[in-house]
Amino acid sequence: MITNLKNSGHLVKLILYIVIIVSIYVISSFIYFRIDLTQEKRYTLSEPTKQILQKLPGKIFIKVYLDGELPGGFTRLSRTVKETLDEFRIIAGDHIQYSFIDPYAGNDEKSIQQQIQELYKQGLEPVSVKIKDKKGNMAEKNIIPGAIASYNNIDFPINLLSNNPGLSAEENLTHSEQSLEYSLINAIHCLAIRDNRKVAFIEGHGEYDQYQVADITRELASYFQVDRGEIHGNQSLLLPYSCIIIANPTKPWNEEDKFAVDQYIMQGGKVLWLIDPVSVARDSLVYGKTFANIAQLNLDDQLFRYGIRLNPVLVQDIQCNIIPVNTATSNTRPQFSPAPWLYLPLLAGNQNSAISRNINLVKSEYTSYIDTLNIENIHFTSLLTSSARAKIKTVPYIISMQEIKQQPALESFDKQFLPVAVLAEGTFTSVFKNRMLDDLQIVGSKKVIETSVYNKMIVIADADIIRNDVRYTNSQIYLGRIGRDKYTSQIFGNKDFILNAIQYLTDDNGLISIRNKEVKMRLLNKIKLTEELRFWQAINIILPLVMVAILALIFFYIQKKRFI
């Protein structure tokens, strides 16, 4: 009888345990709870990301082309992408669908190459890496570190790798992980949550035409409605636009158009200025020489009132791009070799700004630099700078190709980190404050708003940063890619910088702030690892066996005490 009661008591306990376990499982399926113990909160989504994911109107399908045989660093990047997308799914549920695809799957080499070419045409940038093949030999392979997000039959390419040649592979992969959340959520936001924001390229003063900015226009069209047009002194034409882009005016601005832009700024309008303070006749370089002179644009007083001074000089930089130079002697067949051209600085981004953080070097041509004034209520942030080895050439000046043959004297390159792109934030004063406007042919109100609301603008002292190459033939126009060097085919960070700049100026939901997220590199000490390799191998092999033996002895001792 006592035995039956004891057995029934054990049965009740067993049933109770089962009920508790099942209850915990059911409750946990409805309640999500997770603690991010990392110092930089790498697994915690930002509030703007959560807000976008919570209001997705439909399903987003994301195809990630990081699968199959990958080098170790790309395997880690692939895993991080999956973890980030899993975090997205926790907030968005089934509205986020993803799959990982190996573009090299299958045996048909022709189909594989066609697929890779198609992904390239869609905007994904392949990267060449060396990996071991099945036989253990080193072979070169093109990895596609990117994804295609789709919504309502619209595709959006996402390049997941920050490929800065000035950094190590490990640093590039770490920077890529830092930017993952922004890259993915930005694509999702553009696809699914379309808004009516508009940007415009200003015309009428010799600015770049539609072909010279075709590549960046195509990119901006994924985010905004993009228009072009002249102002004609009518400020009301500008008010519907979140941002206007003034890209390389070559003719003087009239006061009516200056007034329209000024009052647009006073009312909160954003401006991206890309101005060449120095005019260089580049086509003349084919004859060996060209002339550089101060550009007369009638914008100096306006920018000066906003706290910006464009210095009409040319910056030479040891960190520069290359051009092909004919090194053959006279009366022989031309033979071209690459040579550094000091007038083509490669600009570095400010790592403390969300606009220029973790981007590749930016390609520039015949660049000037910017001084900022000490003005109350305006804060300036340098976004792009020269290297620590720069030099200034005053104009007028004759640029000669013979300079390539001269060995630069390093001691004369004593200018450090000259700012070429600057962000200005604060309350700006109108350049038309206390001025008579009766003689101006202004369309609409002539009442001057003297002080702006809190506002921001970006000024760049080199318009070439936004320009793509254009080649004309008898029947077609061939358009290059912004930031692509036509001689080396290297892709610089121009497109990323311009997109980030406009996103920052028009950002109302704080998305661009996600780019400030930092993942610290905690790398192993390779020297110490090599020196102590045997010791740590022994620890990893012996220590687990010792721990298992100790636990077995403890268990044996407890069992012996219990039954003796």
pLDDT digits (tens, 9 = 90+) for 375-430: 999 999 999 999 999 999 999 999 998 888 888 888 899 999 999 999 999 999 99
Count of beta carbons in the 10 Å neighbourhood of residue 286: 9
The DSSP-derived string for 217-236 is: HHHHTTTSEEEEEE-TTBGG
Nearest alpha carbon to residue 309 among 275, 349, 343: 275
Predicted pLDDT at 33: 55
Sequence-ordered list of residues with C-beta below 8 angstroms from that of 155, at least 6 positions apart, any chain = 122, 148, 149
Q: Which of 191-200, 323-332, 338-347 has the highest mean pLDDT?
A: 338-347
In CATH terms, the superfamily for domain 47-192 is Glutaredoxin (3.40.30.10)
Predicted local confidence at residue 395, as pLDDT = 92
Q: What is the identity of the amino acid at 232?
A: H
Name which of 93, 160, 152 is nearest 125 in CA terms: 160
Amino acid 9: pLDDT: 61
Q: How confident is the model at residue 550 (pLDDT cuts 50, 70, 90)?
A: confident
What letter represents residue 217's amino acid?
T
pLDDT digits (tens, 9 = 90+) for 47-98: 888 888 888 888 999 999 988 888 878 888 889 899 899 989 988 888 999 9
pLDDT surpassing 90 at residue 272? yes
> Which run of H or E residues covers position 404?
none
Categorize the per-residue pLDDT at 346 as very low, low, confident or very high, splitting at 50, 70 and 90. Answer: very high
Q: How far apart are CA 458 and CA 421, in angstroms?
A: 7
> What H or E segment, with its residue span, contains residue 426?
strand 419-426
Tokens of 529: 């690892």
Nearest CA to 361 among 369, 351, 370?
A: 351
Range in 4-13, 243-252, 256-265, 319-328 with the lowest mean pLDDT? 4-13
11 pLDDT above the threshold of 80 = no
Q: What is the largest CA-CA distance in the chain?
A: 118
What is the tens place of the pLDDT at every residue in 133-154?
666 666 677 888 889 999 888 8
Q: How far is CA 59 from CA 56, 101, 262, 296, in A?
A: 8, 19, 43, 53
Q: Whose CA is closest to 503, among 162, 189, 122, 247?
A: 189
CB 430 within 8 A of CB 449: yes
Who has greater pLDDT, 514 or 156? 156
* Residue 4's pLDDT band (cuts 50, 70, 90): low
The top-scoring range by mean pLDDT among 25-29, 91-95, 314-318, 548-552 is: 314-318
538 has pLDDT over 90? no
Per-residue pLDDT reduced to its tens digit, 492-529: 999 999 999 999 999 866 777 777 666 555 556 666 76
Tell me the range of 48-52, 117-121, 257-261, 327-331 where mean pLDDT is highest: 257-261
CA angle, residues 155, 218, 483, in degrees to nearest 5: 110
Report which of residues 377 and 171 the model is more confident about. 377
Q: Which of 273 and 522 is assigned the larger pLDDT?
A: 273
**First-residue to last-residue Cα distance in the chain:** 26
29 φ, ψ to 5°? -70, -20
